[in-house]
Amino acid sequence: MIIDTHTHVVSSDKVKHPLDPGARGWSTEVSNDVEDLIAEMDRAGVACATLVQPNATYGLDNAYQCDSAAQYAPRTVAVGILDPAAPDAADKLAYWVNERGMQGVRLQSQAEPDDPRCDPLWQRAASLGVPISLGGGGQPEKVDRMRHVGARHPNVLFAPDHFAGWSGAADKAAMTTALEGLARLPNAYLRISSTSLGPYLTLTPPEQELFRRVIEAFTPRRVMWGSNFPSSRDGGYLGQVQLGQTALPWLSDDDRRWIMGETAHTLWPMLQGPARG
């Protein structure tokens, strides 16, 4: 079963679902209604998806992701955005999970990942049983800070988005070392998307070896694929799925099965593919 852990839905109805006043980037030009995404998934043979709140699209209003996920449950779950350093972050998380059915949270803040102000949200995530996603930004020191907060909250499964920004890092060797350190935490996972799979073939052989070291540190059982569609859309949705299936030729069939779906099912066991027949 293929599970896409990083899709974005953006409504074409800007009256019912207005963009945040500070919206910027691809989602101000491209819509991806949930109905369209489901049709694309069916054509590409993708069973399930997590609907991830896009950065700078709806702000901290996770309504469209949650409503869309509920519409197609159990094929879809919602992962919203919150500022973990906000004084009411833990209560906001409880609201979105308990009242709106959100099944994961993506942290975005000016605060550092291990800022103590973030701890109440992590504690609430542990009690609610929801995984956490974080942005890495290609900075080894931020990965180290993720390790600090992840170690403080061993009952929370968490994962950096987009290979923690490894592909855009100025010092890929340092990023590799930092991610190898993060992988020592049993509750640390890693999301790999088109932003890192696309550039893989253009890497030098030593860089490809560093890339492989990161995958091997986590093992494929703690690495999960996400298309990043429609932010990443070369070749359409099908092209993004094919990239995930072929970009790393050294993976075994079993490794690829975990990365393309089984790992995600560990975090979101409620996901179920469409009925056959």
Largest CA distance in the chain: 51
Please tell me the number of Cα atoms within 13 Å of 236 on its side-chain side.
8
List pLDDT tens digits, range 62-88: 999 999 999 999 999 999 999 999 999
277 pLDDT above the threshold of 60? no
Does any domain span residue 112? yes
CATH of residue 72: 3.20.20.140
Segment 137-142 shows an average pLDDT of: 92
Tokens of 195: 């932003």
Segment 22-26 shows an average pLDDT of: 89
List pLDDT tens digits, range 253-266: 999 999 999 999 99
Distances (CA, A) of 84 to 5, 97, 117, 216: 21, 15, 7, 30
Segment 186-204 shows an average pLDDT of: 95
Please report the sign of the dihedral spanned by the C-alpha atoms of residue 30, residue 130, residue 145, residue 120: positive
What is the predicted pLDDT for the residue at 170? 93
What is the predicted pLDDT for the residue at 61? 95
Does any domain span residue 233? yes
Distances (CA, A) of 43 to 1, 117, 238: 14, 44, 8
Q: Tell me which of 25-29, 35-39, 63-67, 157-161 is least confident.
A: 25-29
Across all residues in the chain, what is the average pLDDT? 96
Does any domain span residue 179? no
Expressed as residue numbers, the domain containing 250 is: 3-135+142-157+222-267
Distances (CA, A) of 107 to 115, 127, 131, 133, 225: 12, 17, 11, 6, 19
What is the predicted pLDDT for the residue at 82? 97
Does any domain span residue 182? no
List pLDDT tens digits, range 115-139: 999 999 999 999 999 999 998 788 9
Tell me the residue type at 7.
T
200 pLDDT above the threshold of 70? yes
Output the pTM of the full model.
0.95
Please report the sign of the dihedral spanned by the C-alpha atoms of residue 262, residue 144, residue 105, residue 91: positive
Q: Tell me which of 18-27, 163-172, 189-198 is least confident.
A: 18-27
What is the predicted pLDDT for the residue at 135? 84
Does any domain span residue 243? yes
Does any domain span residue 167? no
169 pLDDT above the threshold of 60? yes
Burial 118-127 (b: 16+ CB within 10 A, else e): bbbbbebbbe
What is the predicted pLDDT for the residue at 56? 86
Kindly tell me the burial class for residue 265, based on how many C-beta atoms sit within 10 Å of its own C-beta (0-12, 13-18, 19 or more).
middle
Does any domain span residue 200? no
* DSSP-assigned beta bridge partners for residue 7: 51
List pLDDT tens digits, range 145-166: 999 999 999 999 999 999 999 9
Does any domain span residue 176? no
Segment 161-172 shows an average pLDDT of: 95
**Residue 275: pLDDT band with limits 50, 70, 90:** confident
Segment 50-56 shows an average pLDDT of: 93
Domain count for the chain, please give it.
1
Other beta carbons within 10 angstroms of residue 169's beta carbon come to 21
